[in-house]
């Protein structure tokens, strides 16, 4: 039942996407479905006329006319099938595009936990992107193929039974093994494709490494191309070997089916010879008719049956697509405004990343009021970035609560996000203009050059803008024709500017924002810190302990918890983790 539902959904979808002209062509296909029968009949009369020509040379004109009709039929058939295949290519690229787009929207709307690691969800998305479009596009053409196929089938069956009923019966029965084999082949292909998706993706990953800048640098420097190549080659070989194993099996299937079909052909020829022998009036034309019609009958019957049976394996692809679309979405509320003031409250938050038992946050408790200036410090892996992930609603706690203004962040996600602005530790470098790299956090204000430039002056990004021939309009990154890629630190300045440009945000979260900045650039930002952040809450994650002098509260993370909480003087006096960290850095400057 479910299968029928998914099939019908695929049909409705492909009809929606199909162009009207393509519809007309498909309908015209019903008339064209009579062509195989007409051609067989015409071949028969042509052959019979030729046979008569030996006795009566006057009939030459009739022969020529008959030949001309035959030629026109062939031409019509060829032209029509060209037109049909043109439209079916168009339809199928339309659907493939649609499905890819759906997959992109899905990737951007499911909870982030599905994304970070290449798990089942990502595998399914890749699978659907690669295969489902074709199968879904096929669903509607299947219906037209069925209807035209049945028309052709009946019309040919009628003319063949007129010669001898057994010809039709034998042809149909012997198609069945071919159908069974074809169906097994489809099932095996589906199983194979779903089973080895990750291996395929990993193979692509290794070949992609040779197309990306950063890996390519290391590959050259360490001279590890042979190592990468070996990895890629081994994976490809394994992948191809698995694929070949299945293909070899399928070659055997196809050969058996062919052998059977050809054998039957010989039987049909004998039966026809017998009929003509019995009744010579039928003429040699009957031979021509049977030979062409039998071939067509075989291929039409096989196609019809394969499509009828194969729909069950094809529906699996469509099902995968529709089921995937039903994956939970992260957004649960329609409230998209932003808060005037933000109180952040984490209570006993426990959190482990998907498929992991390790508590990256282990009973975290913290309350942050509007306007507080906070530094978050702590060893690598102590949970700082994880805290940011939860604060931004990218993950939800396994237990405990992560709230903004008394509401779970996940339950009011849009509003919470609108009230925050963030630079993640690994932020994005948009291959776009400088303007868009900055204003993308608040697109409605993208045209306010004064505001962008004033902010850039305070963050230090103005130096970058000034250096560009086209100022804010300059395209930056690896796609720039003028070689305007930025250094790591310059990108970071752009990212800081982007985060601070989001006007309605009440909280800035900056995860190691100055890690790549030179000391002067960093000092410049600290100097402007008060004016840059105003009355907004600021959560600054940093290993540079200098930062602790411009904030009024320091949270020290240790193994997923807050180990210490206070200002610089208090924590030094406490002589705990913070004091130790501080001394470790300070001793080099004494």
- Tell me which residues touch Mg ion (CB under 5 A): 384-385, 425
CA dist 349 and 402 (Å) reads 7
Q: How far is the CB of 553 from ligand ADP (least distance, A)?
A: 18
Which one of residues 289, 360, 456, 521 is an interface residue with ligand ADP (CB under 6 A)?
360
Q: Does 380 bind ligand ADP (CB under 6 A)?
A: yes
Q: Does 386 bind ligand ADP (CB under 6 A)?
A: yes
Shorter beta-carbon distance to ligand ADP: residue 285 or 397: 397
Nearest to 319 by CA among 179, 189, 190: 190
Q: Does 396 bind ligand ADP (CB under 6 A)?
A: no
Q: Does 464 bind ligand ADP (CB under 6 A)?
A: no
Shorter beta-carbon distance to Mg ion: residue 299 or 425: 425
Count of residues that bind ligand ADP according to CB under 6 A: 12
The option from ligand ADP, Mg ion, none interacting with 47 (CB < 5 to 8 A, set by class) reads none
DSSP 426: S
Contacts of 542 (CB under 8 A, 6+ apart): 375, 376, 377, 512, 513, 514, 515
Which one of residues 381, 447, 488, 519 is an interface residue with ligand ADP (CB under 6 A)?
381
Shorter beta-carbon distance to ligand ADP: residue 93 or 356: 356
Shorter beta-carbon distance to Mg ion: residue 401 or 425: 425
Which one of residues 383, 393, 397, 513 is an interface residue with ligand ADP (CB under 6 A)?
383
Q: Does 384 bind ligand ADP (CB under 6 A)?
A: yes
Q: What are phi and psi of 433, to 5 degrees?
A: -75, 165
8 A C-beta contact, residue 59 and residue 49: yes
| Cα angle: 177, vertex 306, 151; to 5 degrees | 115
Shorter beta-carbon distance to Mg ion: residue 355 or 380: 380
Nearest to 334 by CA among 414, 394, 395: 414
The option from Mg ion, ligand ADP, none interacting with 360 (CB < 5 to 8 A, set by class) reads ligand ADP
Between strands 407-408 and 359-368, the pairing is unpaired
Shorter beta-carbon distance to ligand ADP: residue 290 or 360: 360
The option from ligand ADP, Mg ion, none interacting with 337 (CB < 5 to 8 A, set by class) reads none
Strand order in the sheet with 420-423: 420-423, 507-511, 537-541, 373-378, 553-558, 561-566
Between strands 373-378 and 399-404, the pairing is unpaired
Q: Does 542 bind ligand ADP (CB under 6 A)?
A: no
Which one of residues 2, 78, 262, 356 is an interface residue with ligand ADP (CB under 6 A)?
356
CA dist 10 and 547 (Å) reads 57
Shorter beta-carbon distance to Mg ion: residue 102 or 385: 385
Q: What are phi and psi of 365, to 5 degrees?
A: -125, 125
CA dist 113 and 390 (Å) reads 11
Q: How far is the CB of 510 from Mg ion (least distance, A)?
A: 12
User: Which residue(s) pair with 34 in the sheet?
Assistant: none
Q: What are phi and psi of 119, to 5 degrees?
A: -95, -160
Residue 467, both tokens: 């250096």
Terminal CA-to-CA distance of the chain, rounded, Å? 77
Q: Does 382 bind ligand ADP (CB under 6 A)?
A: yes
Q: How far is the CB of 557 from Mg ion (least distance, A)?
A: 10
Contacts of 72 (CB under 8 A, 6+ apart): none
CA dist 275 and 584 (Å) reads 104
- Positions 43 through 72 that interact with ligand ADP (CB under 6 A): none
Q: Does 551 bind ligand ADP (CB under 6 A)?
A: no
Q: Does 398 bind ligand ADP (CB under 6 A)?
A: no
Q: Does 385 bind ligand ADP (CB under 6 A)?
A: yes
| Among the residue ranges 11-19, 317-325, 374-382, 468-476, the one whose residues contact ligand ADP (CB under 6 A) | 374-382
**Distance from chain centroid for Cα 469:** 37
Q: How far is the CB of 344 from ligand ADP (least distance, A)?
A: 17
Between strands 553-558 and 507-511, the pairing is unpaired
Number of helices and strands (H, E) in the chain?
21, 10
* Rounded (10°) angle between helices 283-325 and 165-195: 30
| Among the residue ranges 159-167, 377-385, 461-469, 516-524, the one whose residues contact ligand ADP (CB under 6 A) | 377-385
Q: Does 116 bind ligand ADP (CB under 6 A)?
A: yes
- Positions 150 through 189 that interact with ligand ADP (CB under 6 A): none
Q: How far is the CB of 511 from Mg ion (least distance, A)?
A: 6
Shorter beta-carbon distance to ligand ADP: residue 36 or 378: 378
Q: How far is the CB of 197 from ligand ADP (least distance, A)?
A: 20
The option from ligand ADP, Mg ion, none interacting with 537 (CB < 5 to 8 A, set by class) reads none
Q: Does 29 bind ligand ADP (CB under 6 A)?
A: no
CA diameter of the chain: 123
Nearest to 342 by CA among 391, 280, 275: 391
Q: Name the residue with the smallest CB distance to Mg ion.
A: 385
| Cα angle: 517, vertex 520, 525; to 5 degrees | 75
Site residues (CB under 6 A) for ligand ADP? 116, 353, 356, 360, 378, 380-386
């Amino acid at each position: 039942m479910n299968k029928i539902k998914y099939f019908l959904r695929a049909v409705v979808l492909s009809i929606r996407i199909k162009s009207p002209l393509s519809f007309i062509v498909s309908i015209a296909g019903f008339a064209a479905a009579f062509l195989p029968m007409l051609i067989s009949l015409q071949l028969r009369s042509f052959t019979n006329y030729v046979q008569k020509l030996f006795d009566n040379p006057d009939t030459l004109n009739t022969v020529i006319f008959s030949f001309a009709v035959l030629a026109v039929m062939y031409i019509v058939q060829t032209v029509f099938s060209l037109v049909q295949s043109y439209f079916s290519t168009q339809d199928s690229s339309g659907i493939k595009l649609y499905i890819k787009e759906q997959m992109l929207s899905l990737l951007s709307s499911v909870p982030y936990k599905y994304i970070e690691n290449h798990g089942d969800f990502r595998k399914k998305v890749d699978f659907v992107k690669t295969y489902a479009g074709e199968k879904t596009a096929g669903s509607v053409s299947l219906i037209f193929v069925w209807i035209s196929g049945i028309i052709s089938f009946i019309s040919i069956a009628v003319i063949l039974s007129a010669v001898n009923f057994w010809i039709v019966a034998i042809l149909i029965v012997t198609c069945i093994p071919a159908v069974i084999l074809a169906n097994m082949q489809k099932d095996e292909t589906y199983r194979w494709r779903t089973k080895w998706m990750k291996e395929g993706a990993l193979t692509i990953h290794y070949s992609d490494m040779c197309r990306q800048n950063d890996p390519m640098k290391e590959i050259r420097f360490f001279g590890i191309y042979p190592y990468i190549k070996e990895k890629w080659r081994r994976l490809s070989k394994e992948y191809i070997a698995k694929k070949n194993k299945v293909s070899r099996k399928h070659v055997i299937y196809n050969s058996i089916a062919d052998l059977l079909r050809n054998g039957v052909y010989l039987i049909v020829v004998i039966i026809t010879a017998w009929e003509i022998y019995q009744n010579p009036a039928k003429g040699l034309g009957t031979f021509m008719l049977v030979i062409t019609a039998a071939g067509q009958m075989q291929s039409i019957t096989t196609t019809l049956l394969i499509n009828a049976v194969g729909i069950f394996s094809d529906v699996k692809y469509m099902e995968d697509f529709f089921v995937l679309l039903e994956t939970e979405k992260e957004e649960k509320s329609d409230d998209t405004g932003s808060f005037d003031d933000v109180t952040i409250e984490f209570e006993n938050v426990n959190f482990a990343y998907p498929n992991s038992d390790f508590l990256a946050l282990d009973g975290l408790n913290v309350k942050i009021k509007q306007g507080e200036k906070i530094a978050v410090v702590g060893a690598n892996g102590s949970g700082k970035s994880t805290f940011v992930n939860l604060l931004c609603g990218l993950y939800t706690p396994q237990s405990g609560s992560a709230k903004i203004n008394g509401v779970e962040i996940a339950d009011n996600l849009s509003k919470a996000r609108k009230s925050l602005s963030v630079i993640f530790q690994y932020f994005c470098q948009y291959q776009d203009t400088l303007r868009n790299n900055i204003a993308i956090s608040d697109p409605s204000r993208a045209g306010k050059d004064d505001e962008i430039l004033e902010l850039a002056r305070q963050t230090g990004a103005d130096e970058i803008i000034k250096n560009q021939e086209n100022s804010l309009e300059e395209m930056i990154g690896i796609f720039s024709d003028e070689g305007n890629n930025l250094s790591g630190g310059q990108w970071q300045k752009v990212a800081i500017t982007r985060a601070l440009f989001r006007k309605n945000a009440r909280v800035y979260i900056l995860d190691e924002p100055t890690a790549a900045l030179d000391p002067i650039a960093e000092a410049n930002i600290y100097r402007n810190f008060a004016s840059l952040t105003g009355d907004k809450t600021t959560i600054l994650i940093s290993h540079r302990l200098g930062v602790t002098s411009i904030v009024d509260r320091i949270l020290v993370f240790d193994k997923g918890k807050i180990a210490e909480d206070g200002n610089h003087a208090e924590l030094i006096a406490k002589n705990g983790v913070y004091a130790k960290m501080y001394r470790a850095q300070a001793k080099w400057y004494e």
